[in-house]
Amino acid sequence: MIYRTRFLLPIFLLLSTACKDTKTTADSGIERAPRLIDSAVVVRIDSTLGRFVDSGNVAGVSALIFEKDQEVYYNAFGFADREAQKPMARNTIVQIYSMTKPITGTALMTLFEEGAFELDDPVSKYAPEFADMKVYAGTDASGNMILEEPRRPMTIRDLTRHTAGFGGNAQVPGVGALIAKADAMNRENTLTQMAEKMGATPLYFHPGEQWEYGPSVDVQALLVERISGRPYRDYVRERVLDPLGMEETRYYVPERDRGRFSAMYVRKGEGKLDQLPDTLAKSNYTERWPLTRGGSGLTSTLDNYMRFARMLVHKGTFDGVSVLKPETVELMATNHLPDSIEKRSWLPSKGQVGFGIDFAVRIRPPVSAEENNGPVGEFFWDGAASTLFWVDPVNDLTAVLFVQLFPYDPIGLHKNFRDAVYGPYLESGE
């Protein structure tokens, strides 16, 4: 049996709301735009998400959407733990991986607002571990590594837009073996030990010259720690998570809540999923490790992460609490990648996007039906276990999609979910 649960507005309320929104207001004479999420869209989203579970390509999936401060969609399909027959639920805890990054960026920008740093400050001003880094430039005839001086210092802006020069992982050509040997991301390291090991490893490219996903946001967490004088895990808790009521967005999941912690699945082929053992999938979250990463490591629930997204669509203030100023959110949601940065790794696979401060930013509409759908001005990010969220200021809409699936979205879940929300792609003029 496939479990499907729902808590959303009854269809008649959705219909009446949609009709109400298209009426001309008596006092203004201005016709209000209809809501994007109407009863037909709800059915389309249900069909889309349910199909992925029915096909066996997803064990469980859930989604939550707010539009114009109203909850317009929630549903959950399948299982958080298929083997234990535990349904996916609204309060299921999932690993959000890189959806941690925008939270870290928010913590960093609270210090920016206080005048504690400028985006174009050298990183080494606050973290001298990065003062003497060299850049990999190939090998000589004898196979020895050639290292160059950086053409300019790495800046905090480079960290926030992934142009710092760091290689992403051990598979990066030339420096991958050194990245693996340094083992900077070992969870037994502190943030300072992480920085020492990263600072002793050559950069993959000169700062500011290409886009490459990597550990830049982990260095942002270090900077928060250095600039604030507070442990990063405490600072993000006190300045972002607790003020927003995100008590269940955590690095450590206590014993009492582990019954709600979703299992993790690996897709092995069409309709074939293997559950990862909890000892492997959850060990980062069931012990307290020294490394508090800024780039990943948080767990959350749908409603908790939605509070973060709604703060952003409200330009920094939510539920009476101001986390950021409107101009700061606008700065974060603005493309910071100049056209001169042509090498962008896999970023173009996200669609017509640039990159702001820890968000991808949609700068042009999709040019084909194969591209990810979304309006210009949207900003978003996702996680390694195929989770996704976005903020759509055009429609005053926020969406959070939770699933626990490796490898990253091998089934087109994100594209299909976006198409279900926004409708089919239409060429210009249609």
- Alpha-carbon distance values, 297 to 221, 244, 289, 404 (Å): 12, 19, 11, 14
Single-letter amino acid, residue 215: P
User: What pLDDT does 1 receive?
Assistant: 43
Structure tokens at 119: 């985006």
Place of tokens 């996903």: 213
Residues 6+ apart with CB under 8 A from 338: none
Residue 162 DSSP label: T
What's the whole-number average pLDDT of the chain?
92
Cα separation, 254 vs 93, whole angstroms: 11
Q: How many CB atoms lie within 10 A of CB 360?
A: 22
Residue 321, strand partner residues = 318
Instruction: From 160, 57, 144, select the one nearest 104 (Cα to Cα).
Output: 160
Cα separation, 147 vs 98, whole angstroms: 31
Question: Which residues in 315-426 belong to E strands, given as ranges?
Answer: 317-318, 321-322, 353-355, 360-362, 379-382, 388-392, 397-403, 405-406
User: What pLDDT does 26 receive?
Assistant: 40
Instruction: From 283, 219, 277, 214, select the one nearest 251 (Cα to Cα).
Output: 283
User: What pLDDT does 427 receive?
Assistant: 64
Under a CB-based contact definition with an 8 Å cutoff, are residues 130 and 124 in contact?
Answer: yes
Cα separation, 297 vs 96, whole angstroms: 7
Instruction: From 237, 279, 240, select the one nearest 261 (Cα to Cα).
Output: 279
Which three-class secondary structure state does DSSP give residue 12?
Answer: helix
Place of tokens 């909850």: 71
420-423-427 Cα angle (round to 5): 140
Structure tokens at 120: 């174009």
What is the value of pTM for the model shown? Answer: 0.92
Q: For every one of its 430 residues, what pLDDT tens digit does the chain have, with 9 covering 90 and above?
A: 444 544 333 333 333 333 434 443 344 343 444 789 999 999 999 999 999 999 999 999 999 999 999 999 999 999 999 999 999 999 999 999 999 999 999 999 999 999 999 999 999 999 999 999 999 999 899 888 999 999 999 999 999 999 999 998 888 888 999 999 999 999 999 999 999 999 999 999 999 999 999 999 999 999 999 999 999 999 999 999 999 999 999 999 999 999 999 999 999 999 999 999 999 999 999 999 999 999 999 999 999 999 999 999 999 999 999 999 999 999 999 999 999 999 999 999 999 999 999 999 999 999 999 999 999 999 999 999 999 999 999 999 999 999 999 999 999 999 999 999 999 886 654 4
Q: How many CB atoms lie within 10 A of CB 212?
A: 22
Burial tier of 373 (Cβ tally within 10 Å: 0-12, 13-18, 19+): buried
Which three-class secondary structure state does DSSP give residue 327?
Answer: helix
325-215-276 Cα angle (round to 5): 110
User: What pLDDT does 30 receive?
Assistant: 38
Instruction: From 252, 258, 256, select the one nearest 288 (Cα to Cα).
Output: 252
- Alpha-carbon distance values, 300 to 77, 120, 323 (Å): 18, 32, 19
Structure tokens at 226: 């250095």
Q: How many CB atoms lie within 10 A of CB 184?
A: 22
Structure tokens at 381: 């990010």
Is the peptide bond prior to 407 cis by the omega test (within 30 degrees of 0)?
yes
Cα separation, 79 vs 273, whole angstroms: 12
DSSP notation for 238-276: IIIITTTT-TT-BSS--GGGGGGBPP-EEEEETTEEEEP
Cα separation, 181 vs 345, whole angstroms: 23
